[in-house]
Structure 1
Amino acid sequence: MAFHLRAATEQDLPFARALTHEAMNRYYVQNQLIWSNAGFDTAWAGRENWLICRDDHTLGFISLSRDGGALYIRELHLLQAYRGQGAGTWVLEQIALKAQAQALGLLRLTVFKTNPARRLYQRMGFSIVGEEDGFWRMERVCRVR
């Protein structure tokens, strides 16, 4: 019953798009933003995407990008039925290890201010380093190996 990551393929795009829209729609409405399937698809194509799995079940996905000093979590979503079971904590630790292995000193993300996931990020060592409109910018220092 261990969690694992599987590289996402183009066939996983509809799942990821639908899950993101379902998870984020209320935050988009609260912040008067407009969801765009085409925008999501374009972003997906330019990112490193992984499915979060346990046994043969897909629990969610994570989408990453990077620059010279940081690994960015662009999307992290779990199906409702699998939230609160440790997968989010596990995947954040895996991604921190990935940042370290790639000699990137920071792990960064942006979260809606009203999203309760912020508490998970803070428990996992992320600090609020800025804000913009309805978002918190957060980062975690990763010791480079």
Structure 2
Amino acid sequence: MAFDLQPASSAYLDFARKLTCETMLGYYIRHDLLWQDEAFDVAWAGRESWLVRQDGVVVGYVSLSRDARALYIRELHVIAAVRGQGAGAWVIEEVLQMARKERRPALRLTVFKDNPAQALYQRMGLQVVGEDECFLRMERDCRL
């Protein structure tokens, strides 16, 4: 099964919003945060998003932002049917290569403390560099 990335147009906004809400709403509820479709839509418009495809079928997406210090994974979600099949690890490796190509010093992301995806991020070399009440901030040096 081959994965690839394809730029995500605004036509995929509904797909991305629904997938994100499905995967994240439980965390929002447990941490007493408010999910807002409008806030998601604004964030989507300001980020670079890529569709994750498996054998040509869209199975998820990743959204990125940048500054001088890092390339940031803002969202990374795959549909339930393909979780555990390597899509997340593949996407992180692709984004890491983007960061290196762009000469960004670091790859960064934020994850809920109780999200099991943090184990994947640690396996991919990201380390916890900070935390607050419900989130961990993780980072990997891209210069290595």
TM-score bin, normalised by smaller chain: over 0.9
Q: Report the counterpart of residue 106 of structure 1 in structure 2.
A: 106
Deviation at 1:69, TM superposition (A): 1.6
1:65-89 CA distance string (max 9 Å, x none): 0001200000000100000001111
Give the distance between the partners of 1:56 and 1:92, measured in 2 at CA. Answer: 19
For 1:117, the aligned partner's letter is A
Q: How many pairs align?
A: 144
Question: What are the within-5 Å matches in structure 2 for residues 1-145 of structure 1?
Answer: 1-143=1-143
Structure 2 gap segments, 5+ residues each: none
For 2:40, the aligned partner's letter is F
TM normalised by structure 2 equals: 0.98
Moved more, 112-121 or 50-59: 50-59
Give the distance between the partners of 1:132 and 1:36, measured in 2 at CA. Answer: 21
Q: Following TM superposition, where does structure 1 have runs of at least 4 consecutive aligned residues deviating by more than 6 angstroms?
A: none
Give the distance between the partners of 2:143 and 2:137, measured in 1 at CA. Answer: 20
Give the distance between the partners of 1:133 and 1:75, measured in 2 at CA. Answer: 19
TM normalised by structure 1 equals: 0.97
For 1:84, the aligned partner's letter is G
For 2:123, the aligned partner's letter is R
Give the distance between the partners of 1:132 and 1:64, measured in 2 at CA. Answer: 22
Indicate the percent of aligned positions where both proteins have the same amino acid: 55
